[in-house]
């Protein structure tokens, strides 16, 4: 795995880039349909070392790739070295057990060229008698769709309880199927001994922007006003540390926080589950959004950290704050979002997960539209078709003093700069007007 732009660790988890277009516009496609579902399926098992500790090692890889060029081979080696670390981020203090509840989580590795690969993980206990060690089935893909890959991992786990040999034909069938467009379904045929041929339907959500997100996970653990404190801190690109014991809780909640920033993108270090050996990430002076298991809290608090917002997802509270979180967002807009979040929170049992995702996302996109939705009218277009953003006029056009004060800070962030850079390139020159 690689070094990120700001010198941070390799597992810079970054959400998919925002497509070009108007603020608040829904993109129907992040990835072109027809791509492979995945690059690799690997199994990571715990191997006992001479000192008695267990270390994660890859024990199975599909497909085995041959005839790689030198650069491709080096990239594959880096990838395969990093994967075990993120499949077992909670260190090597393991012992064989008779019972273990399966858990699903994800991580993202950023390559040297900025391209991303997502690891979808299912940690489970193989079937059999006596005590055993958990193993992780990890699907490496360039495609961001947590719900779809969770369903695929359900099928992998079902087959693992029969035999490893039954997994291979299923994954081969999946690899030969094109990745569906949003809202579309692909059907995989798979033979299971004693059950016959099964048809497995994999449907992609209609809204591609929300297919890697579960806002309910956040709403169930944090009160709306705390979510807004976190959102405000993320908008100003501060340091955020999330604490929970379960890997699934950390990865779900941090993906949700990053998704609240849509149509902007978190552009800094982003590691939903920090491996034990990378805990000094919290000493990084640049912005970060990281998840750390609760067992490491004391070690984290002992680190020489700069100001950071530390969120306890188990207790639903903030452990450490900068102190100004309540005043960051413009009051009127903050109250509107608070009302909206409280409404969705109270209706949690009424709405489906997809409905909650859509309603929450809509509230935050509406916030951005009200605040900075006029950006397009402040891009000055040259004869060549290239644009130049007029920052001063853009800020001056905001009538509300509190909104203008906040936006003057927001325009200095990396996420706003990257968004504007894309917008400046997005105009297609029309014939006759340069």
Residue of 6 and 400 predicted with greater confidence? 400
Residue of 193 and 248 predicted with greater confidence? 248
- Quickly tell me which residue has 């603020």 as its tokens: 23
**Range scoring the smallest mean pLDDT among 265-274, 320-329, 383-392, 423-432:** 423-432
Q: Which residues contact 104 (CB under 8 A, 6 or more apart)?
A: 120, 121, 122, 123, 150, 153, 248
Q: Return the pLDDT at 113.
A: 63
Selection from 181-190, 274-283, 307-316 with the highest mean pLDDT: 307-316
Position 384 pLDDT exceeds 50: yes
pLDDT tens digit string along 36-79? 788 889 999 999 888 888 899 999 888 877 777 777 777 778 88
| Mean pLDDT of the region 138-160 | 88
Q: What is the 3-state secondary structure (H, E, C) of the chain?
A: CCCCCCCCCCCCCCCCCCCCCCCCCCCCCCCCCCCCCCCEEEEEEEEECCCCCEEEEEEEEECCCCCCCHHHHHHHHHHHHHHHHHHCCCCCCCCCECCCCCEEEEEEEECCCCCEEEEEEEEECCCCCCCECCEEEEEEECCCCHHHHHHHHHHHHHHHCCCHHHHHHHHHHHHCCCCCCCCCEEEEEEEECCCEEEEEEEECCCCHHHCCCCHHHHHHHCCHHHHHHHHHHHHCCCEEEEEECCHHHHHHHHHHHHHCCCCCCCCCEEECCCCHHHHHHHHCCCCEEEEEEHHHHHHHHHCCCCCCEEEECCCCEEEECCCCHHHCCCHHHHHHHHHHHHHHHHCCCCCCHHHHHHHHHHHHHHHHHHHHCCHHHHEEECCCCCEEECHHHHHHCCCCHHHHHHHHHHCCCHHHHHHHHHHHHCCCCCCCCC
Instruction: Please state, in angstroms and rounded to a whole number, the distance separating the CA atoms of residues 28 and 207.
Output: 6
**Range scoring the smallest mean pLDDT among 99-113, 168-182, 314-328:** 99-113
pLDDT class for 340, splitting at 50, 70, 90?
confident
Cβ neighbours, 10 Å, residue 153? 21
- Quickly tell me which residue has 């880039």 as its tokens: 17
Tokens coding 189: 């045929």
pLDDT tens digit string along 349-374? 556 777 888 888 899 999 999 999 99
Q: Return the pLDDT at 192.
A: 79
| Mean pLDDT of the region 81-96 | 85
pLDDT tens digit string along 306-326? 889 999 999 999 999 988 998
| Mean pLDDT of the region 273-277 | 88
Q: Return the pLDDT at 196.
A: 77
Residue of 243 and 422 predicted with greater confidence? 243
Across the chain, mean pLDDT equals 82
Position 244 pLDDT exceeds 90: yes
Q: Return the pLDDT at 205.
A: 76
Closest by CA to 291, choosing from 353, 242, 339, is 242
pLDDT class for 345, splitting at 50, 70, 90?
low
Position 434 pLDDT exceeds 70: no
Position 10 pLDDT exceeds 50: no
Residue of 253 and 181 predicted with greater confidence? 253
Instruction: Please state, in angstroms and rounded to a whole number, the distance separating the CA atoms of residues 47 and 56.
Output: 6
| Mean pLDDT of the region 242-266 | 92
pLDDT tens digit string along 15-43? 333 333 344 333 323 334 346 788 889 99
Q: Return the pLDDT at 348.
A: 52
Query: Are the CB atoms for 40 and 139 separated by under 8 Å?
Result: yes
Q: Return the pLDDT at 112.
A: 64
Domains and CATH numbers, the chain: 40-206 (3.30.450.200), 215-336 (3.40.50.11500)
- Distances 246 to 175, 295, 424 between C-alpha atoms, Å: 30, 10, 42
């Amino acid at each position: 795995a690689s070094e990120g732009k700001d010198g941070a660790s390799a597992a810079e988890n970054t959400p998919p880039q925002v497509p070009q277009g108007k603020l608040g516009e829904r993109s129907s496609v992040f990835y072109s349909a027809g791509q492979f579902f995945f690059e690799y399926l690997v199994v990571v098992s715990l191997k006992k070392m001479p000192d008695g500790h267990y270390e994660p090692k890859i024990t199975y890889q599909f497909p085995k790739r041959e005839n790689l060029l030198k650069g491709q081979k080096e990239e594959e080696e880096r990838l395969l070295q990093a994967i075990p670390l993120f499949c077992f981020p909670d260190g090597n203090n393991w012992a064989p057990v008779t019972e273990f509840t399966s858990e699903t989580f994800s991580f993202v590795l950023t390559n040297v060229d900025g391209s991303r690969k997502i690891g979808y993980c299912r940690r489970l206990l193989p079937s059999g008698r006596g005590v055993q060690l958990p193993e992780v089935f990890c699907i490496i893909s360039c495609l961001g769709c947590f719900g779809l890959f969770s369903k695929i991992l359900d099928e992998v786990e079902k087959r693992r309880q029969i035999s490893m040999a039954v997994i291979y034909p299923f994954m081969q069938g999946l690899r030969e199927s094109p990745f569906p467009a949003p809202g579309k379904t692909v059907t995989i045929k798979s033979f299971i001994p004693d059950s016959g041929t099964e048809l497995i339907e994999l449907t992609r959500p209609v809204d591609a922007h929300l297919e890697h997100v579960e806002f309910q996970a956040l709403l169930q653990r944090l009160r709306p006003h705390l979510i807004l404190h976190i959102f405000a801190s993320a908008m100003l690109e501060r340091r955020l540390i999330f604490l929970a014991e379960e890997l699934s809780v950390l990865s779900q909640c941090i993906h949700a926080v990053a998704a609240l920033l849509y149509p902007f993108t978190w552009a800094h270090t982003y590691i939903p589950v920090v491996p034990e050996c990378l805990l000094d990430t919290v000493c990084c002076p640049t912005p970060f959004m990281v998840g750390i298991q609760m067992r490491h809290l004391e070690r984290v608090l002992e680190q020489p950290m700069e100001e950071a917002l530390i969120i306890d997802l188990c207790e639903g509270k903030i452990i450490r704050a900068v102190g100004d979180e309540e005043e960051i967002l413009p009051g009127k807009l903050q109250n509107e979002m608070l009302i909206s979040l409280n409404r969705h929170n109270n209706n949690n049992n009424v709405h489906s997960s997809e409905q909650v995702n859509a309603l929450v996302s809509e509230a935050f996109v509406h916030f951005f539209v009200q605040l900075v939705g006029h950006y397009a009218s402040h891009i000055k277009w040259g004869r060549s078709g290239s644009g130049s953003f007029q920052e001063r006029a853009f800020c001056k056009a905001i009538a509300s003093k509190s909104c203008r004060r906040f936006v003057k800070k927001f325009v200095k962030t990396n996420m706003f700069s990257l968004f504007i850079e894309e917008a400046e390139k997005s105009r297609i020159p029309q014939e006759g007007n340069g």
